[in-house]
């Protein structure tokens, strides 16, 4: 991912180190439901198993 500050016309030495990959935390990742939209996730018990489900559609993930 490029830094937007580095897209300005400047010298090459100014942009050095600004264009590097960064990790992405798991909390910033959204789960897509069957429609391809981001869905909130809930937990429910099915029998004696705890399963995750999409709150928008109710489908088990």
| pTM beyond 0.75 | no
Q: 36 vs 13, 16, 32, 42, 46, CA distance in Å?
A: 42, 37, 5, 17, 25
pLDDT digits 0-9 by tens, 1-51: 555 556 666 565 666 666 678 898 988 888 888 888 888 999 999 999 999
**Structure-token pair, residue 52:** 């995750």
CA distance 28 to 48: 30
The C-alpha atoms of residue 52 and residue 46 are separated, in whole angstroms, by 10
């Amino acid at each position: 991912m490029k830094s937007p500050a580095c897209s300005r016309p400047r010298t090459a030495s100014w942009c050095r180190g600004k264009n590097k990959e960064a990790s992405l935390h798991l909390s910033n990742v959204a789960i897509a439901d069957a429609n391809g939209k981001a869905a909130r996730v809930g937990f429910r018990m099915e029998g004696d198993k705890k399963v995750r489900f999409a709150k928008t559609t109710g489908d088990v993930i």
